[in-house]
Structures are given as C-alpha cells and as structure tokens.
Amino acid sequence: MATLLETSRLDKSFGALKATDDVSLAVDAGEVHAVIGPNGAGKTTLIAQLTGELAPDRGTIRFDGRDITGLPTWRRTRLGLARSFQITTLLPQMSAEDNVALAVQARSGSSFRFFADARRDTTLRGPARSFLERVGLAPVAQTRCRELSHGEHRQLELAVALALQPRMLLLDEPLAGMGQEDSARMVALLRSLKSELPMLLVEHDMDAVFSLADRVSVLVYGRIIATGTPQAIRDDPAVRNAYLGGQGG
C-alpha cells in the first residue's frame, strides 16, 4: 500500500533531553497506525512536529510524497492533514454547529467575505449539521461549546476534524479523560471511520489501541523500539519489558 505520511530520522531535543530520537514512522493509505508509549515518551512532541507546531532539529516529514517539514500548520491542514487536540481546543463562545461550520468554511473557498450572514449560509450549515449527526451531537448543535460536557467536547473535536474532509487524521489521545461509556462510543465511531480515513492514533488506552490499530509503534524515551501488528507488539518481549510489563496490558 502507498505510504501517505512518513517521517524519516526525526530528532528533537529540549536542552539535554532528546524528546524525539531518530524517529522513522510511516502511515499507509487505508491504515490505522497507533503510537503508544508511557508518559514522557515524547508522544506530544512527535504530534507537534507532525502538525507543524514544533520544528524538528533534523529529519524530514513527507505527506503524500511531498516534503512538508517546513510548512506552517495551516498549510498542512490545507493539504489534507487534520488533527484533533488532546486538550480540547474549541471555540468556547460559539455553538457546536458554529465550530463545525467554521471547518466547513475553511474547505469551501474564500473567507474574505464581509457581508452575507455566515450563520444563514446553508452551504455551511447543512454539511455542519450532517457531521454533527455523524458523531451524535445533533441534539446539542445550538449549545454553546463551553456548556458541553467533556465527552461531547471530544466528539466535537472529531466532528470538526471530519468537516475538514481530510485525507488523514492525526488523533492526539481522543479518549483522554473519557468515562467508559463515552469511550466505547468513541471507539465505535473511530472504527466506523476506519475504512474511509487513514489515521495516526496516539493513545493511552491499550484496549482501544489494540482493537483499532492495524499497526502499533511503541515510543520509549523518544525512540521507537518496535513496530508491528497489535499481536506482534503484545508478544514482543522488549515492549513487555519497557512498557506493558508493569501495567498488564
């Protein structure tokens, strides 16, 4: 299968700390690739380099064959690389629908339009509503974002990312802080997207990772110590030793 996102020999240090150490990683078209690792393994630093919020010290990032290492965040999004945030980053004073509509708007040509009422623009509102429906948020479409629950914020993050109609999703701990019920719903939702969208999934929740991912990479102290199918990773003695051992999977 064709490789969609590829990092090659990525390095990033903060002083003496190597947060990313020679990371080469590939996400193929049609694949869900999970990155797991203990706290402080450098998962957030890795995501930040993929989205363009941090520049790597060395190495390259390619998306769809194109070198995007030096591109700003917004350009990467325009190329079809959408992300969700670990810590909810939505527009708190806008409604759920506004948040999604702004993503639809980002896809639909110029936003240098100064006169027509954007909230009455059915070319924005219609798609926005269908994405909200898809993640199960249609009933709270008009609720202000800051009044939604944590679980709803996570769902909305996903709806916003989907509304960008990306070619690939970067999901930064989409299950972070969710209860069991919300978690299960989100996993089901992600599974339903699996066939349409390649994803790079950074996640803590092992059950979710092993049930969703086609391949898993294990990040420890900034290094990838193993990549393989969920089963192979489960059985890898080095991984068990470094990471899974104490936690019992």
Partner 1 sequence: MPAPLASAQLPATPPASVARRRVVLLAGCLLLAALPAIAHGAGQPFLIATFTRFVIYAIAAVSLDLILGIGGLTSFGHAAWFGLGGYVVAIAAFHAQDASTLLGWGGSTEALVVWPLAIAVTALVALPIGALSLRTSGIHFIMITLAFAQMLFYLFVSVKFYGGDDGLAMQRRNTLAGADLRDATVFYYVCVACLVAWTTLCAAIRRSRFGMVLSGCRQSERRLLALGYPVYRYKLVAFVLAAAGAALSGALWANAARFVSPDMLAWVKSGELMVMVILGGTGTLFGPIAGAFVLLGVEQLLSAWTEHWMLILGPLLVLFVVFARRGLWGLVAGER
Which one, 66 or 181, has the nearer CB to partner 1?
66
**Angle, in degrees to the nearest 10, between helices 150-163 and 122-134:** 130
The interface mask with partner 1, positions 141-170, x = CB under 8 A, is xx-x---------------x---x------
- Binding to partner 1 (CB under 8 A): which residues in 90-119? 90-95, 97-98, 101-103, 105-107, 110-119
Q: Which of 78, 134, 167, 234 binds partner 1 (CB under 8 A)?
A: 78
| C-beta separation of 162 from 186 below 8 A | no
State in angstroms the smallest separation of the CB of 111 from partner 1: 5
- Residue closer to partner 1 (CB basis): 166 or 222: 166
Is 167 in contact with 81 (CB distance < 8 Å)? yes
Q: Which is nearer to partner 1, 29 or 102 (CB)?
A: 102
- Specify the residue, 54 or 184, whose C-beta has the smaller distance to partner 1: 54
**229 in contact with partner 1 (CB under 8 A):** no
Q: Which of 16, 39, 122, 196 binds partner 1 (CB under 8 A)?
A: 122
Q: Give yes or no for residue 120 binding partner 1 (CB under 8 A).
A: yes
Residues 139, 131: Cα–Cα separation, whole Å: 12
Residue with Cβ nearer partner 1 (172 or 236): 172
CA 113 to chain centre: 30
Interface residue with partner 1, options 55, 73, 150, 179 (CB under 8 A): 73
Phi, psi of 173 (to 5 degrees): 45, 65
Single residue of 12, 33, 43, 125 touching partner 1 by CB under 8 A: 125
Distances (CA, A) of 154 to 9, 30, 129, 174, 182: 32, 23, 17, 7, 9
Asked if 32 interacts with partner 1 (CB under 8 A), we say no
Interface with partner 1 (CB under 8 A), residue total: 47
Q: Please give the backbone phi and psi of residue 174, each rounded to the nearest 5 degrees, phi first.
A: -65, -15
**Shorter beta-carbon distance to partner 1: residue 122 or 180:** 122
State the number of CA atoms in the 13 A half-sphere of 220 facing the CB: 11
Q: Who contacts 217 (Cβ-Cβ below 8 Å, separation ≥6)?
A: 25, 33, 34, 35, 36, 224, 226, 227
- Cα separation of 107 and 210, whole Å? 33
Per-residue tokens: 210: 């092993």
Only segment of 59-67, 74-82, 179-187, 188-196 that touches partner 1 (CB under 8 A) = 74-82
Residues lying near partner 1 in the complex (CB under 8 A) are found at 51, 53, 72-75, 77-78, 82-83, 85, 89-95, 97-98, 101-103, 105-107, 110-125, 141-142, 144, 160, 164
